[in-house]
Structure 1
Amino acid sequence: MSSQRADAAGLRLLVVGASSGIGHAVAVSATERGAKVAVAARRIDLLNSLAEVTGGHAFELDVEDSAAINRVVNDAADALGGLDAVVFTSTVIPFAYIEDTDVATWLHAFSVNTVGANNVLRAAAPRLAENGVVLVASSYDVGRPRAGVAAYSASKAALDEILHSWRIEHPELSLIRVGVGPTDDTEILRGADRDLLDQLVATWVAQGALPARMSALRDVANTLVSLVTTAYENPTVVPEVVQLAPRIKKGAGRASK
C-alpha cells in the first residue's frame, strides 16, 4: 500500500475490534504508515478481507472469551515477531431506555466494553516490548451520559476506573485512554430499533447532545495511530487521557443520524 508518511515503520501492532468502524480504519492507517498489523474480532470474513489489503494477520476473537483472548494475543505476538502496541476498539452500544434495559443487556455491555478491554490488557502486558503502548478507545461522553445508552455509558465509566487501577499498579505501562466523540461510519447503529432511535435522536437534539457535525472516521483513526507512535517514540511520556471531539466549522448544520 502507498504511504503518505512512514512514522509507524516497523511498529508491530495488534488491533482488537478491527472488523469495521474505527478499528478497521486504524488497521488501514497504521499499515499505510509502515506498521506490521494483526487484526482480531468476531467477524473473521471481514478480517480476512482486511488482512488481504494490509498484508497482515487475522484472528477470530470474541472478547467475552478470556481464554481466547490469551490465545489470540500470544498468537498475534508470535506472528508479528513481537508486540509493540495494542489498540482496543471493540464495543457494544445497546440502545434502550434504562427501565427497559434487562440483566442480559447490562452483563453483555460490561463483558465486552469493560471486562473484555481489561482482559486484553492483561494478556498483552507480558508480551509488550519495552516501550510498548496500549491504547483503549472509550467514550467522550463518560460522566455526561445520553438518554437511551445507560448500559454503554456505565460500562465505559467502569472501564475508566479499571484503567486507573492499571496505572496505579503498573506505572511502567504506557496506557492511553481515548474518549472518542461522535464519529461517522462506525456501524454503531447497526441493528438498532429505528423507532426508538428516532425518539432518542429527538431527545439528544433537545438536550444539545448531538453535534452539528461528526468527526470523519479516517481522521479519528489517523489520530489514534499518531498517539500510539508518539507514545512509542517518546517512552518517558504517557498521554494518559485524550478526548477527541468533532471540530465544528462555522455554518455547519445539525448532524443527521
Structure 2
Amino acid sequence: MSDRHSNIEGARMLVIGASSGIGHALARAARTRGARVALAARRVELLSGLAEELDGSAHELDVSDPRAIERVVDEVATTFGQLDAVVFTSAVVPFALIEETDVTTWLHAYAVNAVGASHALRAALPHLADDAVVLVASSHDVGRPRAGVAAYHASKAALDEILRSWRAEHPELAVIRVSVGPTDGTEILRGADRDLLADLYRAWAQEGQIPAKMSAVNDVANAMLSLIAMSRANPTVVSDIVHLAPRLSTGR
C-alpha cells in the first residue's frame, strides 16, 4: 500500500513549463507516480511527444499572454473536471548587466516570472478541488542577487511578494512557494551569450556564488511532487515556503 504522504495517484495535474528542466522532469515523475497530467509550455513541439508518452495532453502556452493562460486552464479543467494540482515552473532568465537591461527585457521578465504565475493561479481558482495544491517555483537567490541577472532576480522577488498576498487573501488555499537552488539538467543558460557568461562565472566565483555541486533535476522534481502529496494528505497544514538546496557531499 502506498504511503498517503507520498501518494499522488489519480491526481489531476496541470504542469506549466513542462517542455524542459524541472517541469519536464516533474511531469514524467508525476505520471510514473500515477497522476494524470496536462502539459503546457511555449515550445509545444517539445511537448507533443512527451504528452503522448505520458498519456496526457499538450497545450501551447506563452505565460506572458493572460488570454492564453485562461484558454489553457479552461481546456484542462474541462477535460479533468477539476484540478488537484497546478505546478508553475515557467521562467525567463535574461543574462545582461543591469545597465544594459532594456525596458522590454524588464517587462517581459515580470510578465513571465511574476504576473504570469499569478494569473495562472487566478485562472485556476474556480477549478481547484477542495484539497488542491498550487506549487510555484521561485529562486533561492531572492535577496542575494548575482551579477548579470537583475531582471530575473527582481521578478522572482516580485513573485514571492505576490504569493504572500495570495496566502494573505486566500488562507484556505494550499499555495506553496518552492525556492529552488542550483539544479543540474535545466536549460537556464539556453541562448545566453557565452562571453558574457564567462565574465559572470568569474564574478560569481569571486563572490562564492557557485556551489560545489548542484541538485539533480529528478530529485528536485520528486521532492516537489512529495510536497503536493503531503499537502493533500494533511489538509489543515500548508508548507508555505520550502527551500530546496543542493546537499553537498562530505567526501566520506
TM-score, with normalisation over the residues of structure 2?
0.96
Checking the alignment, whether the CA contact within 8 Å between 1:37 and 1:80 is kept in structure 2 is no
Q: Distance in 1 between matches of 2:205 and 2:251?
A: 17
SS of residue in 2 equivalent to 1:220? helix
Checking the alignment, whether the CA contact within 8 Å between 1:12 and 1:83 is kept in structure 2 is yes
Q: Which amino acid aligns with 2:139?
A: S
Q: Distance in 1 between matches of 2:185 and 2:145?
A: 21
**For residue 150 of structure 1, what is the aligned residue in structure 2?**
150
C-alpha displacement of 1:218: 0.3
- Asked if residue 27 in structure 1 is aligned to residue 33 in structure 2, the reply is no
Q: Distance in 2 between matches of 1:203 and 1:80?
A: 47
Check 1:251–1:96 CA distance in 2 against 1; reply closer, same or farther (3 A cut): farther
1:42-80 per-position Cα deviation (integer Å, ceiling 9, x unaligned): 111111111011111111111011111111001111222
Q: Distance in 2 between matches of 1:15 and 1:80?
A: 13
**For residue 140 of structure 1, what is the aligned residue in structure 2?**
140
Q: Note the residue ranges of structure 2 that are not aligned, 5 or more in a row.
A: none
Q: Which amino acid aligns with 1:112?
A: V
TM-score, with normalisation over the residues of structure 1?
0.94
**For residue 194 of structure 1, what is the aligned residue in structure 2?**
194
**For residue 243 of structure 2, what is the aligned residue in structure 1?**
243
**For residue 170 of structure 2, what is the aligned residue in structure 1?**
170
**For residue 211 of structure 1, what is the aligned residue in structure 2?**
211
Of all paired residues, the percent bearing the same amino acid is 65
**For residue 42 of structure 1, what is the aligned residue in structure 2?**
42
**For residue 223 of structure 2, what is the aligned residue in structure 1?**
223
Q: Distance in 2 between matches of 1:138 and 1:92?
A: 12
Q: Note the residue ranges of structure 1 that are not aligned, 5 or more in a row.
A: 253-257
Q: Distance in 2 between matches of 1:79 and 1:202?
A: 49
C-alpha displacement of 1:249: 0.3
**For residue 10 of structure 1, what is the aligned residue in structure 2?**
10
1:126-175 per-position Cα deviation (integer Å, ceiling 9, x unaligned): 11000111000000111101111000000000111101111111111100
Q: Distance in 1 between matches of 2:39 and 2:31?
A: 11
Q: Distance in 1 between matches of 2:86 and 2:223?
A: 15
**For residue 96 of structure 2, what is the aligned residue in structure 1?**
96
**For residue 184 of structure 2, what is the aligned residue in structure 1?**
184
Runs of 4+ residues deviating >2 angstroms:
none
SS of residue in 2 equivalent to 1:74? helix
CA RMSD between the two structures = 1.4
1:108-143 per-position Cα deviation (integer Å, ceiling 9, x unaligned): 100000000010010011110001110000001111
SS of residue in 2 equivalent to 1:192? coil
- Greater Cα shift, 70-79 or 214-223: 70-79
C-alpha displacement of 1:250: 2.4
Q: Which amino acid aligns with 1:122?
A: R
C-alpha displacement of 1:251: 4.2
**For residue 127 of structure 1, what is the aligned residue in structure 2?**
127
**For residue 67 of structure 2, what is the aligned residue in structure 1?**
67
Q: Which amino acid aligns with 2:113?
A: N
Q: Distance in 2 between matches of 1:62 and 1:52?
A: 21
Checking the alignment, whether the CA contact within 8 Å between 1:21 and 1:217 is kept in structure 2 is yes
SS of residue in 2 equivalent to 1:209? coil
SS of residue in 2 equivalent to 1:55? coil
